[in-house]
Protein backbone atom coordinates (compact mmCIF):
# COMPACT_ATOMS: atom_id res chain seq x y z
CA UNK A 1 0.00 0.00 0.00
CA UNK A 2 2.85 2.38 0.83
CA UNK A 3 4.28 1.93 -2.68
CA UNK A 4 0.92 2.66 -4.26
CA UNK A 5 0.46 5.76 -2.08
CA UNK A 6 3.91 7.05 -3.07
CA UNK A 7 3.09 6.45 -6.71
CA UNK A 8 -0.14 8.42 -6.50
CA UNK A 9 1.52 11.17 -4.41
CA UNK A 10 4.10 11.95 -7.11
CA UNK A 11 1.82 11.14 -10.06
CA UNK A 12 1.00 14.76 -10.93
CA UNK A 13 4.61 15.93 -11.14
CA UNK A 14 5.81 12.69 -12.78
CA UNK A 15 3.14 13.03 -15.43
CA UNK A 16 3.99 16.65 -16.24
CA UNK A 17 6.58 15.72 -18.86
CA UNK A 18 8.43 12.77 -20.35
CA UNK A 19 11.63 13.97 -18.67
CA UNK A 20 9.91 13.85 -15.29
CA UNK A 21 8.29 10.47 -15.97
CA UNK A 22 11.52 8.75 -17.02
CA UNK A 23 14.40 10.80 -15.49
CA UNK A 24 12.86 12.81 -12.59
CA UNK A 25 13.98 16.03 -14.24
CA UNK A 26 17.69 15.09 -13.91
CA UNK A 27 17.89 16.38 -10.33
CA UNK A 28 18.35 13.22 -8.25
CA UNK A 29 21.10 12.87 -5.57
CA UNK A 30 23.68 10.08 -5.61
CA UNK A 31 22.52 8.33 -2.44
CA UNK A 32 18.92 7.92 -3.63
CA UNK A 33 19.99 6.72 -7.07
CA UNK A 34 22.56 4.32 -5.57
CA UNK A 35 20.08 2.80 -3.11
CA UNK A 36 17.55 2.48 -5.92
CA UNK A 37 20.06 0.48 -7.95
CA UNK A 38 20.77 -1.78 -4.97
CA UNK A 39 17.04 -2.29 -4.42
CA UNK A 40 16.49 -3.04 -8.11
CA UNK A 41 19.12 -5.79 -8.12
CA UNK A 42 17.81 -7.02 -4.73
CA UNK A 43 15.31 -8.99 -6.75
CA UNK A 44 13.01 -11.70 -5.42
CA UNK A 45 14.77 -14.14 -7.76
CA UNK A 46 18.33 -13.24 -6.70
CA UNK A 47 18.36 -15.17 -3.39
CA UNK A 48 16.84 -18.10 -5.29
CA UNK A 49 19.63 -17.87 -7.88
CA UNK A 50 22.34 -17.65 -5.19
CA UNK A 51 20.82 -20.66 -3.40
CA UNK A 52 20.85 -22.63 -6.65
CA UNK A 53 24.52 -21.72 -7.22
CA UNK A 54 25.64 -22.57 -3.67
CA UNK A 55 23.81 -25.91 -3.58
CA UNK A 56 25.35 -26.98 -6.89
CA UNK A 57 28.77 -25.30 -7.00
CA UNK A 58 29.39 -24.12 -3.46
CA UNK A 59 30.06 -20.57 -2.31
CA UNK A 60 32.80 -20.28 -4.94
CA UNK A 61 30.16 -20.62 -7.64
CA UNK A 62 29.12 -17.04 -6.92
CA UNK A 63 32.09 -15.84 -8.96
CA UNK A 64 29.65 -16.17 -11.87
CA UNK A 65 28.26 -12.82 -10.70
CA UNK A 66 30.96 -11.55 -8.32
CA UNK A 67 33.18 -11.14 -11.39
CA UNK A 68 30.87 -8.37 -12.64
CA UNK A 69 32.36 -6.09 -9.97
CA UNK A 70 35.13 -5.37 -12.50
CA UNK A 71 32.47 -4.11 -14.89
CA UNK A 72 30.90 -2.07 -12.10
CA UNK A 73 34.11 -0.34 -11.10
CA UNK A 74 34.90 0.37 -14.75
CA UNK A 75 31.55 2.16 -14.93
CA UNK A 76 32.25 4.10 -11.71
CA UNK A 77 35.62 5.48 -12.69
CA UNK A 78 35.35 5.75 -16.47
CA UNK A 79 31.82 5.77 -17.84
CA UNK A 80 29.55 7.35 -15.24
CA UNK A 81 30.76 10.89 -15.94
CA UNK A 82 30.66 10.28 -19.70
CA UNK A 83 27.03 9.11 -19.62
CA UNK A 84 25.98 12.12 -17.55
CA UNK A 85 27.96 14.44 -19.83
CA UNK A 86 26.14 13.12 -22.89
CA UNK A 87 22.86 14.70 -21.74
CA UNK A 88 20.81 12.14 -23.67
CA UNK A 89 17.40 10.82 -22.62
CA UNK A 90 18.07 7.07 -22.77
CA UNK A 91 21.22 5.06 -23.40
CA UNK A 92 19.79 3.99 -26.77
CA UNK A 93 19.83 7.62 -27.89
CA UNK A 94 23.61 7.19 -27.73
CA UNK A 95 23.48 5.40 -31.08
CA UNK A 96 22.51 8.52 -32.99
CA UNK A 97 25.00 10.57 -30.99
CA UNK A 98 27.95 8.28 -31.72
CA UNK A 99 26.94 7.03 -35.20
CA UNK A 100 25.10 8.52 -38.14
CA UNK A 101 22.67 7.70 -40.92
CA UNK A 102 20.21 4.84 -41.36
CA UNK A 103 22.39 2.18 -39.63
CA UNK A 104 22.40 4.28 -36.43
CA UNK A 105 18.65 4.81 -36.65
CA UNK A 106 18.13 1.09 -37.18
CA UNK A 107 20.24 0.26 -34.13
CA UNK A 108 18.29 2.63 -31.96
CA UNK A 109 14.88 1.46 -33.15
CA UNK A 110 15.63 -2.24 -33.20
CA UNK A 111 17.25 -2.31 -29.77
CA UNK A 112 14.38 -0.27 -28.37
CA UNK A 113 12.11 -3.21 -29.14
CA UNK A 114 14.72 -5.97 -28.66
CA UNK A 115 15.86 -4.76 -25.24
CA UNK A 116 12.79 -2.86 -24.14
CA UNK A 117 10.41 -5.71 -24.89
CA UNK A 118 12.09 -9.08 -25.59
CA UNK A 119 15.10 -8.89 -23.26
CA UNK A 120 13.26 -6.91 -20.62
CA UNK A 121 10.29 -9.28 -20.58
CA UNK A 122 12.67 -12.24 -20.14
CA UNK A 123 14.30 -10.61 -17.12
CA UNK A 124 10.97 -9.72 -15.55
CA UNK A 125 9.70 -13.24 -16.24
CA UNK A 126 12.49 -14.72 -14.10
CA UNK A 127 11.51 -12.33 -11.29
CA UNK A 128 7.88 -13.33 -11.73
CA UNK A 129 8.96 -16.97 -11.56
CA UNK A 130 10.46 -16.28 -8.14
CA UNK A 131 7.17 -14.72 -7.05
CA UNK A 132 5.35 -17.83 -8.27
CA UNK A 133 7.65 -20.11 -6.29
CA UNK A 134 7.51 -17.97 -3.16
CA UNK A 135 3.73 -17.67 -3.37
CA UNK A 136 3.33 -21.39 -3.95
CA UNK A 137 5.61 -22.50 -1.12
CA UNK A 138 4.84 -19.87 1.51
CA UNK A 139 1.18 -19.06 0.82
CA UNK A 140 -0.12 -22.00 -1.18
CA UNK A 141 -1.07 -19.75 -4.10
CA UNK A 142 -1.40 -20.85 -7.71
CA UNK A 143 0.97 -19.24 -10.25
CA UNK A 144 -1.78 -16.98 -11.60
CA UNK A 145 -2.83 -15.89 -8.09
CA UNK A 146 0.79 -15.05 -7.21
CA UNK A 147 1.20 -12.96 -10.35
CA UNK A 148 -2.05 -11.10 -9.88
CA UNK A 149 -1.30 -10.19 -6.27
CA UNK A 150 2.34 -9.21 -6.84
CA UNK A 151 2.08 -7.68 -10.29
CA UNK A 152 -1.01 -5.50 -10.22
CA UNK A 153 0.11 -3.15 -7.42
CA UNK A 154 3.59 -2.83 -8.94
CA UNK A 155 2.19 -2.01 -12.36
CA UNK A 156 -0.19 0.59 -10.92
CA UNK A 157 2.38 2.64 -8.98
CA UNK A 158 4.86 2.35 -11.87
CA UNK A 159 2.24 3.63 -14.31
CA UNK A 160 1.34 6.66 -12.22
CA UNK A 161 4.47 7.45 -10.20
CA UNK A 162 7.00 7.19 -13.00
CA UNK A 163 10.71 7.18 -12.23
CA UNK A 164 10.37 9.38 -9.14
CA UNK A 165 7.86 6.94 -7.67
CA UNK A 166 10.27 4.09 -8.41
CA UNK A 167 13.14 5.86 -6.63
CA UNK A 168 11.21 6.73 -3.48
CA UNK A 169 9.62 3.30 -3.12
CA UNK A 170 13.00 1.66 -3.78
CA UNK A 171 14.43 3.49 -0.76
CA UNK A 172 11.91 2.00 1.65
CA UNK A 173 11.84 -1.35 -0.09
CA UNK A 174 15.61 -1.75 0.22
CA UNK A 175 15.46 -1.27 4.01
CA UNK A 176 12.67 -3.85 4.28
CA UNK A 177 14.41 -6.29 1.94
CA UNK A 178 17.76 -6.07 3.75
CA UNK A 179 16.14 -6.60 7.15
CA UNK A 180 14.23 -9.58 5.79
CA UNK A 181 17.37 -11.18 4.32
CA UNK A 182 19.26 -10.90 7.61
CA UNK A 183 16.27 -12.22 9.58
CA UNK A 184 15.96 -15.17 7.21
CA UNK A 185 19.61 -16.07 7.75
CA UNK A 186 19.34 -15.73 11.55
CA UNK A 187 16.29 -17.98 11.85
CA UNK A 188 17.60 -20.49 9.32
CA UNK A 189 20.60 -20.99 11.60
CA UNK A 190 18.16 -21.58 14.47
CA UNK A 191 16.46 -24.50 12.71
CA UNK A 192 16.75 -27.66 14.87
CA UNK A 193 18.38 -29.62 12.06
CA UNK A 194 21.01 -26.85 11.60
CA UNK A 195 21.74 -26.09 15.25
CA UNK A 196 23.54 -22.76 14.87
CA UNK A 197 26.46 -21.38 12.88
CA UNK A 198 29.22 -23.54 14.40
CA UNK A 199 27.32 -26.78 13.76
CA UNK A 200 26.44 -25.65 10.24
CA UNK A 201 30.10 -25.08 9.40
CA UNK A 202 31.07 -28.45 10.92
CA UNK A 203 28.53 -30.47 8.91
CA UNK A 204 30.25 -32.62 6.29
CA UNK A 205 27.78 -31.93 3.49
CA UNK A 206 28.24 -28.18 4.07
CA UNK A 207 32.02 -28.11 4.57
CA UNK A 208 32.57 -29.10 0.95
CA UNK A 209 30.63 -26.00 -0.13
CA UNK A 210 32.25 -23.35 2.10
CA UNK A 211 35.35 -22.25 0.21
CA UNK A 212 35.15 -18.93 -1.62
CA UNK A 213 37.67 -20.34 -4.08
CA UNK A 214 37.16 -23.47 -6.21
CA UNK A 215 39.38 -26.54 -5.95
CA UNK A 216 42.45 -25.61 -8.01
CA UNK A 217 43.45 -29.26 -8.35
CA UNK A 218 40.40 -29.84 -10.54
CA UNK A 219 40.38 -27.80 -13.79
CA UNK A 220 36.78 -28.80 -14.44
CA UNK A 221 35.86 -26.74 -11.37
CA UNK A 222 38.14 -23.72 -11.26
CA UNK A 223 38.14 -22.95 -14.99
CA UNK A 224 34.36 -22.41 -15.37
CA UNK A 225 33.80 -21.14 -11.81
CA UNK A 226 36.69 -18.66 -11.49
CA UNK A 227 38.88 -18.31 -14.57
CA UNK A 228 36.20 -17.77 -17.22
CA UNK A 229 34.19 -15.20 -15.18
CA UNK A 230 37.31 -13.18 -14.26
CA UNK A 231 39.18 -13.53 -17.55
CA UNK A 232 36.37 -13.45 -20.11
CA UNK A 233 32.82 -13.06 -18.87
CA UNK A 234 32.92 -9.66 -17.14
CA UNK A 235 34.09 -7.69 -20.19
CA UNK A 236 32.61 -9.77 -22.99
CA UNK A 237 28.97 -10.32 -22.03
CA UNK A 238 25.99 -8.00 -21.76
CA UNK A 239 23.73 -8.53 -18.76
CA UNK A 240 21.22 -6.06 -17.25
CA UNK A 241 22.74 -4.27 -14.26
CA UNK A 242 26.27 -5.31 -15.23
CA UNK A 243 26.65 -3.94 -18.75
CA UNK A 244 30.26 -3.29 -19.82
CA UNK A 245 30.52 0.46 -20.12
CA UNK A 246 27.24 0.97 -18.29
CA UNK A 247 23.81 0.91 -19.86
CA UNK A 248 20.19 -0.02 -19.27
CA UNK A 249 18.70 1.01 -15.95
CA UNK A 250 22.19 1.79 -14.59
CA UNK A 251 22.59 4.40 -17.32
CA UNK A 252 19.09 5.67 -16.52
CA UNK A 253 20.25 6.46 -12.97
CA UNK A 254 23.40 8.16 -14.21
CA UNK A 255 21.41 10.27 -16.67
CA UNK A 256 18.97 11.25 -13.89
CA UNK A 257 21.75 12.44 -11.55
CA UNK A 258 22.23 16.12 -10.66
CA UNK A 259 25.69 16.15 -12.18
CA UNK A 260 28.72 14.00 -12.97
CA UNK A 261 29.80 13.69 -9.33
CA UNK A 262 26.39 12.38 -8.32
CA UNK A 263 26.44 9.92 -11.23
CA UNK A 264 29.78 8.55 -10.03
CA UNK A 265 28.64 8.47 -6.41
CA UNK A 266 25.47 6.56 -7.28
CA UNK A 267 27.28 3.79 -9.15
CA UNK A 268 29.96 3.53 -6.45
CA UNK A 269 27.38 3.11 -3.68
CA UNK A 270 25.60 0.50 -5.77
CA UNK A 271 28.71 -1.61 -6.28
CA UNK A 272 29.74 -1.41 -2.62
CA UNK A 273 26.35 -2.57 -1.37
CA UNK A 274 25.59 -5.04 -4.16
CA UNK A 275 28.81 -7.07 -3.91
CA UNK A 276 29.98 -6.57 -0.32
CA UNK A 277 26.89 -6.03 1.83
CA UNK A 278 24.23 -8.39 0.54
CA UNK A 279 25.58 -11.83 -0.46
CA UNK A 280 26.22 -13.47 2.90
CA UNK A 281 22.67 -13.56 4.33
CA UNK A 282 21.58 -15.35 1.14
CA UNK A 283 24.59 -17.69 1.29
CA UNK A 284 23.87 -18.63 4.90
CA UNK A 285 20.29 -19.61 4.06
CA UNK A 286 21.53 -21.61 1.07
CA UNK A 287 24.03 -23.52 3.25
CA UNK A 288 21.34 -24.25 5.83
CA UNK A 289 19.08 -25.59 3.10
CA UNK A 290 21.66 -28.27 2.25
CA UNK A 291 21.02 -29.83 5.64
CA UNK A 292 17.26 -29.36 5.78
CA UNK A 293 16.60 -30.22 2.11
CA UNK A 294 19.56 -32.32 0.95
CA UNK A 295 18.03 -33.07 -2.49
CA UNK A 296 15.16 -32.16 -4.78
CA UNK A 297 13.13 -35.15 -3.62
CA UNK A 298 13.08 -33.77 -0.08
CA UNK A 299 11.76 -30.42 -1.36
CA UNK A 300 9.08 -32.12 -3.44
CA UNK A 301 8.10 -34.29 -0.46
CA UNK A 302 7.75 -31.24 1.80
CA UNK A 303 5.61 -29.39 -0.77
CA UNK A 304 3.65 -32.03 -2.69
CA UNK A 305 1.26 -29.47 -4.19
CA UNK A 306 4.05 -27.64 -6.04
CA UNK A 307 4.29 -28.41 -9.76
CA UNK A 308 7.22 -30.89 -10.09
CA UNK A 309 8.47 -29.05 -13.18
CA UNK A 310 9.53 -26.05 -11.09
CA UNK A 311 11.07 -28.01 -8.21
CA UNK A 312 14.73 -27.08 -8.65
CA UNK A 313 17.51 -26.14 -6.24
CA UNK A 314 16.43 -22.50 -6.32
CA UNK A 315 13.19 -23.50 -4.59
CA UNK A 316 15.20 -24.30 -1.44
CA UNK A 317 15.32 -20.61 -0.46
CA UNK A 318 11.57 -20.03 -0.12
CA UNK A 319 11.30 -23.53 1.34
CA UNK A 320 13.62 -22.49 4.20
CA UNK A 321 11.50 -19.44 4.89
CA UNK A 322 8.48 -21.57 5.79
CA UNK A 323 10.20 -22.46 9.08
CA UNK A 324 10.30 -18.84 10.29
CA UNK A 325 8.15 -17.80 13.28
CA UNK A 326 4.83 -16.36 12.12
CA UNK A 327 5.62 -12.75 13.03
CA UNK A 328 9.04 -12.89 11.38
CA UNK A 329 7.61 -14.80 8.43
CA UNK A 330 5.32 -11.89 7.69
CA UNK A 331 8.23 -9.44 7.74
CA UNK A 332 10.40 -11.64 5.53
CA UNK A 333 7.52 -12.19 3.12
CA UNK A 334 7.06 -8.41 3.01
CA UNK A 335 10.79 -8.06 2.27
CA UNK A 336 10.53 -10.46 -0.66
CA UNK A 337 7.51 -8.61 -1.98
CA UNK A 338 9.48 -5.36 -1.64
CA UNK A 339 12.42 -6.89 -3.52
CA UNK A 340 10.09 -8.10 -6.25
CA UNK A 341 8.35 -4.74 -6.60
CA UNK A 342 11.55 -2.69 -6.76
CA UNK A 343 12.99 -4.84 -9.54
CA UNK A 344 9.82 -5.07 -11.60
CA UNK A 345 9.10 -1.34 -11.22
CA UNK A 346 12.53 -0.40 -12.52
CA UNK A 347 12.28 -2.74 -15.49
CA UNK A 348 8.82 -1.47 -16.33
CA UNK A 349 9.93 2.18 -16.32
CA UNK A 350 13.20 1.44 -18.11
CA UNK A 351 11.59 -0.68 -20.83
CA UNK A 352 8.82 1.85 -21.26
CA UNK A 353 11.38 4.63 -21.73
CA UNK A 354 12.81 2.73 -24.72
CA UNK A 355 9.39 2.18 -26.26
CA UNK A 356 8.38 5.82 -25.82
CA UNK A 357 11.58 7.72 -26.57
CA UNK A 358 13.45 5.40 -28.91
CA UNK A 359 10.54 3.92 -30.87
CA UNK A 360 7.30 5.89 -30.63
CA UNK A 361 8.73 9.42 -30.51
CA UNK A 362 11.67 8.71 -32.80
CA UNK A 363 9.90 6.72 -35.53
CA UNK A 364 6.13 6.78 -35.05
CA UNK A 365 5.20 10.32 -34.00
CA UNK A 366 8.09 12.80 -33.55
CA UNK A 367 5.66 15.66 -32.93
CA UNK A 368 3.99 13.94 -29.93
CA UNK A 369 3.62 16.22 -26.91
CA UNK A 370 4.56 15.36 -23.34
CA UNK A 371 1.03 14.38 -22.31
CA UNK A 372 0.79 11.88 -25.15
CA UNK A 373 4.26 10.47 -24.40
CA UNK A 374 3.39 9.98 -20.74
CA UNK A 375 0.16 8.19 -21.70
CA UNK A 376 2.05 5.91 -24.09
CA UNK A 377 4.54 5.27 -21.28
CA UNK A 378 1.75 4.22 -18.93
CA UNK A 379 0.17 1.97 -21.55
CA UNK A 380 3.48 0.28 -22.40
CA UNK A 381 4.13 -0.24 -18.67
CA UNK A 382 0.91 -2.25 -18.37
CA UNK A 383 1.69 -4.18 -21.57
CA UNK A 384 5.19 -5.15 -20.38
CA UNK A 385 3.76 -6.39 -17.08
CA UNK A 386 1.24 -8.57 -18.90
CA UNK A 387 3.79 -10.05 -21.31
CA UNK A 388 6.28 -10.87 -18.56
CA UNK A 389 3.56 -12.59 -16.53
CA UNK A 390 2.63 -14.81 -19.48
CA UNK A 391 6.26 -15.77 -20.22
CA UNK A 392 6.97 -16.59 -16.56
CA UNK A 393 4.34 -19.34 -16.65
CA UNK A 394 6.59 -21.25 -19.09
CA UNK A 395 9.86 -20.97 -17.11
CA UNK A 396 11.10 -23.45 -14.54
CA UNK A 397 14.49 -22.24 -13.33
CA UNK A 398 16.03 -18.78 -12.85
CA UNK A 399 19.59 -20.04 -13.37
CA UNK A 400 18.80 -21.39 -16.83
CA UNK A 401 17.44 -17.98 -17.82
CA UNK A 402 20.62 -16.36 -16.40
CA UNK A 403 22.75 -18.61 -18.61
CA UNK A 404 20.65 -17.96 -21.73
CA UNK A 405 20.91 -14.19 -21.30
CA UNK A 406 24.70 -14.41 -20.86
CA UNK A 407 24.99 -16.46 -24.05
CA UNK A 408 22.83 -14.03 -26.05
CA UNK A 409 25.10 -11.15 -25.05
CA UNK A 410 28.40 -13.06 -25.36
CA UNK A 411 31.01 -11.15 -27.34
CA UNK A 412 29.20 -7.82 -27.43
CA UNK A 413 30.65 -6.41 -24.21
CA UNK A 414 34.00 -5.31 -25.61
CA UNK A 415 32.37 -3.13 -28.23
CA UNK A 416 30.38 -1.30 -25.53
CA UNK A 417 33.66 -0.59 -23.72
CA UNK A 418 35.65 0.55 -26.77
CA UNK A 419 33.04 2.54 -28.70
CA UNK A 420 33.67 5.58 -26.47
CA UNK A 421 37.43 5.45 -27.09
CA UNK A 422 38.09 4.07 -30.58
CA UNK A 423 36.93 6.37 -33.35
CA UNK A 424 36.96 3.59 -35.96
CA UNK A 425 34.02 1.66 -34.47
CA UNK A 426 30.84 2.33 -36.44
CA UNK A 427 27.18 1.35 -36.46
CA UNK A 428 27.90 -1.75 -38.54
CA UNK A 429 30.27 -2.96 -35.82
CA UNK A 430 27.37 -3.09 -33.38
CA UNK A 431 24.86 -4.50 -35.85
CA UNK A 432 27.19 -7.39 -36.68
CA UNK A 433 28.07 -8.02 -33.02
CA UNK A 434 24.42 -8.07 -31.97
CA UNK A 435 23.36 -10.34 -34.84
CA UNK A 436 26.20 -12.85 -34.56
CA UNK A 437 25.96 -13.18 -30.77
CA UNK A 438 22.22 -13.82 -30.94
CA UNK A 439 22.45 -16.32 -33.80
CA UNK A 440 25.28 -18.18 -32.10
CA UNK A 441 23.37 -18.39 -28.80
CA UNK A 442 20.38 -19.94 -30.56
CA UNK A 443 22.35 -22.26 -32.86
CA UNK A 444 24.65 -23.46 -30.07
CA UNK A 445 21.67 -24.75 -28.12
CA UNK A 446 20.39 -26.55 -31.21
CA UNK A 447 23.60 -27.96 -32.70
CA UNK A 448 26.21 -28.16 -29.92
CA UNK A 449 23.90 -29.79 -27.38
CA UNK A 450 25.21 -31.43 -24.23
CA UNK A 451 28.57 -32.25 -25.78
CA UNK A 452 29.76 -28.74 -24.95
CA UNK A 453 29.94 -27.30 -21.45
CA UNK A 454 28.28 -23.92 -20.84
CA UNK A 455 31.56 -22.05 -20.35
CA UNK A 456 32.94 -23.58 -23.55
CA UNK A 457 29.91 -22.30 -25.48
CA UNK A 458 30.40 -18.88 -23.88
CA UNK A 459 34.06 -18.65 -24.88
CA UNK A 460 33.36 -19.86 -28.42
CA UNK A 461 30.56 -17.31 -28.74
CA UNK A 462 32.86 -14.53 -27.54
CA UNK A 463 35.60 -15.48 -30.01
CA UNK A 464 33.27 -15.76 -33.00
CA UNK A 465 31.38 -12.56 -32.21
CA UNK A 466 34.55 -10.56 -31.54
CA UNK A 467 36.19 -11.68 -34.80
CA UNK A 468 32.99 -10.84 -36.67
CA UNK A 469 32.55 -7.31 -35.36
CA UNK A 470 36.24 -6.37 -35.57
CA UNK A 471 36.28 -7.56 -39.18
CA UNK A 472 33.12 -5.59 -39.93
CA UNK A 473 34.71 -2.50 -38.37
CA UNK A 474 37.80 -2.71 -40.55
CA UNK A 475 36.05 -3.47 -43.86
CA UNK A 476 33.30 -0.86 -43.57
CA UNK A 477 33.65 2.90 -43.77
CA UNK A 478 34.19 4.96 -40.65
CA UNK A 479 31.46 7.32 -39.49
CA UNK A 480 31.50 10.68 -41.26
CA UNK A 481 33.68 13.37 -39.78
CA UNK A 482 30.80 15.59 -38.65
CA UNK A 483 29.40 12.83 -36.42
CA UNK A 484 32.81 11.95 -34.97
CA UNK A 485 33.81 15.55 -34.30
CA UNK A 486 30.46 16.36 -32.72
CA UNK A 487 30.68 13.31 -30.44
CA UNK A 488 34.25 14.05 -29.36
CA UNK A 489 33.53 17.70 -28.61
CA UNK A 490 30.47 16.84 -26.54
CA UNK A 491 31.86 13.85 -24.60
CA UNK A 492 35.58 14.74 -24.42
CA UNK A 493 36.77 11.13 -23.95
CA UNK A 494 40.38 10.05 -23.43
CA UNK A 495 42.40 11.06 -26.47
CA UNK A 496 44.37 7.85 -27.09
CA UNK A 497 41.81 6.35 -29.50
CA UNK A 498 40.78 9.61 -31.20
CA UNK A 499 44.04 11.07 -32.51
CA UNK A 500 43.05 11.17 -36.24
CA UNK A 501 39.76 12.87 -35.32
CA UNK A 502 41.51 15.36 -33.03
CA UNK A 503 44.03 16.27 -35.72
CA UNK A 504 41.23 16.78 -38.23
CA UNK A 505 39.20 18.88 -35.79
CA UNK A 506 42.14 21.12 -34.93
CA UNK A 507 43.12 21.59 -38.59
CA UNK A 508 39.55 22.61 -39.48
CA UNK A 509 39.26 24.76 -36.33
CA UNK A 510 36.20 22.79 -35.20
CA UNK A 511 38.09 21.82 -32.05
CA UNK A 512 40.16 24.03 -29.77
CA UNK A 513 42.64 23.19 -27.05
CA UNK A 514 39.84 23.57 -24.48
CA UNK A 515 37.97 20.66 -26.09
CA UNK A 516 40.86 18.29 -25.43
CA UNK A 517 41.10 17.22 -21.79
CA UNK A 518 44.27 15.66 -20.31
CA UNK A 519 43.88 11.90 -20.07
CA UNK A 520 42.96 10.51 -16.65
CA UNK A 521 43.42 6.88 -17.72
CA UNK A 522 46.15 6.05 -15.19
CA UNK A 523 44.16 7.63 -12.39
CA UNK A 524 41.02 5.77 -13.47
CA UNK A 525 42.87 2.43 -13.53
CA UNK A 526 44.13 3.06 -9.99
CA UNK A 527 40.58 3.82 -8.91
CA UNK A 528 39.25 0.63 -10.51
CA UNK A 529 41.94 -1.52 -8.86
CA UNK A 530 41.45 0.18 -5.50
CA UNK A 531 37.68 -0.17 -5.73
CA UNK A 532 37.88 -3.88 -6.54
CA UNK A 533 40.32 -4.55 -3.70
CA UNK A 534 38.08 -2.58 -1.34
CA UNK A 535 34.87 -4.40 -2.23
CA UNK A 536 36.30 -7.90 -2.55
CA UNK A 537 38.19 -7.30 0.70
CA UNK A 538 34.97 -6.31 2.47
CA UNK A 539 33.10 -9.29 0.97
CA UNK A 540 35.68 -11.79 2.22
CA UNK A 541 36.16 -10.00 5.55
CA UNK A 542 32.51 -10.74 6.31
CA UNK A 543 32.91 -14.31 5.07
CA UNK A 544 35.98 -15.04 7.18
CA UNK A 545 34.33 -13.45 10.20
CA UNK A 546 31.36 -15.79 9.81
CA UNK A 547 33.69 -18.76 9.30
CA UNK A 548 35.57 -17.87 12.49
CA UNK A 549 38.88 -17.38 10.66
CA UNK A 550 40.59 -14.60 12.62
CA UNK A 551 43.75 -14.43 10.52
CA UNK A 552 41.79 -14.43 7.28
CA UNK A 553 39.52 -11.70 8.66
CA UNK A 554 42.47 -9.47 9.57
CA UNK A 555 44.16 -9.98 6.19
CA UNK A 556 40.98 -9.16 4.27
CA UNK A 557 40.27 -6.20 6.55
CA UNK A 558 43.72 -4.84 5.77
CA UNK A 559 43.10 -5.31 2.04
CA UNK A 560 39.80 -3.46 2.41
CA UNK A 561 41.50 -0.51 4.09
CA UNK A 562 44.30 -0.43 1.49
CA UNK A 563 41.84 -0.54 -1.41
CA UNK A 564 39.65 2.13 0.18
CA UNK A 565 42.58 4.55 0.49
CA UNK A 566 43.57 4.08 -3.16
CA UNK A 567 39.97 4.41 -4.31
CA UNK A 568 39.26 7.59 -2.34
CA UNK A 569 42.51 9.23 -3.41
CA UNK A 570 41.66 8.52 -7.04
CA UNK A 571 38.17 9.95 -6.63
CA UNK A 572 39.55 13.09 -5.02
CA UNK A 573 41.87 13.75 -7.97
CA UNK A 574 39.27 13.11 -10.68
CA UNK A 575 38.02 16.13 -12.62
CA UNK A 576 34.32 16.66 -13.18
CA UNK A 577 32.40 19.17 -15.25
Domains of the chain: 2-192+219-288+323-397 (1.20.1730.10)
Mind listing the pLDDT tens digit for each residue in 559-572? 999 999 999 999 99
Q: Greater confidence, 564 or 119?
A: 564
Helix (H) / strand (E) element for 30: namely helix 30-41
Share of the chain above pLDDT 90, in %: 52
pLDDT band at 149 (very low <50, low <70, confident <90, very high): confident
Confidence at residue 9, expressed as pLDDT on a 0 to 100 scale = 58
Confidence at residue 577, expressed as pLDDT on a 0 to 100 scale = 78
Number of neighbours of residue 322 by Cβ within 10 angstroms: 12
Sign of CA dihedral 235, 241, 246, 248: positive
* Torsions phi, psi for 257 (to 5 deg): -70, 155
Measured between alpha carbons, how far is 535 from 524 in angstroms, rounded to an integer? 16
Confidence at residue 162, expressed as pLDDT on a 0 to 100 scale = 79
8 A C-beta contact, residue 341 and residue 153: yes
Measured between alpha carbons, how far is 329 from 127 in angstroms, rounded to an integer? 20
Helix (H, G, I), strand (E, B) or coil at 13: helix
Q: Could you give the C-alpha distances from 145 to 78, 304, 312, 337, in angstroms and in order? A: 45, 18, 21, 14
Q: Greater confidence, 574 or 411?
A: 574
Residues 483-520: b if buried by 16+ CB within 10 A, e if exposed: bbbbbbbebbbbbebbeebbebbeeeebbeeeebeeeb
Mind listing the pLDDT tens digit for each residue in 19-78? 787 888 888 999 999 999 998 887 767 888 899 999 999 999 999 899 999 999 999 999
pTM for the structure as a whole? 0.89
Confidence at residue 303, expressed as pLDDT on a 0 to 100 scale = 85
pLDDT band at 427 (very low <50, low <70, confident <90, very high): very high
| CA 364, chain centre distance (Å) | 30
Confidence at residue 196, expressed as pLDDT on a 0 to 100 scale = 94
Residue 262 pLDDT exceeds 60:
yes
Confidence at residue 514, expressed as pLDDT on a 0 to 100 scale = 84
Residue 502 pLDDT exceeds 60:
yes
Residue 93 pLDDT exceeds 70:
yes
Confidence at residue 447, expressed as pLDDT on a 0 to 100 scale = 76
Length of the chain: 577
Q: Greater confidence, 577 or 107?
A: 107
Q: What is the mean pLDDT of the chain?
A: 88
Quote the radius of gyration of the chain (alpha carbons, Å): 23
Quote the DSSP letter at residue 259: S
Confidence at residue 13, expressed as pLDDT on a 0 to 100 scale = 65
Q: Greater confidence, 449 or 85?
A: 85
Amino acid sequence: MLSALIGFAVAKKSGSSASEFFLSGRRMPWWLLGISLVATTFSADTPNLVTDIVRQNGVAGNWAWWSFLLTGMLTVFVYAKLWRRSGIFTDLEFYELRYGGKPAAFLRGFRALYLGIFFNVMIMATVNLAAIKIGGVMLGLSPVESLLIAGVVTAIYSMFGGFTGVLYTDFFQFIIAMFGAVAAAYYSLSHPMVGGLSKLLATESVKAKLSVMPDFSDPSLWIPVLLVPLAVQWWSTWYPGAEPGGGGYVAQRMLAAKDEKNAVGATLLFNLAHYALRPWPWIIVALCSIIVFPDLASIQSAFPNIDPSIVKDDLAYPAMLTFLPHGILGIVLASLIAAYMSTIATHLNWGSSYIVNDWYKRFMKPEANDKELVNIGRFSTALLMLLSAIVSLYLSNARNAFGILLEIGAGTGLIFILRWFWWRINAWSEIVAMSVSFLFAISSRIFLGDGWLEHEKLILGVVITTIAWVTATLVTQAENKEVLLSFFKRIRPATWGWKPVIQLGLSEKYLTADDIEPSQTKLEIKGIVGGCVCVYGALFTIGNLLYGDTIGTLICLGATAFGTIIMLKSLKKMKFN
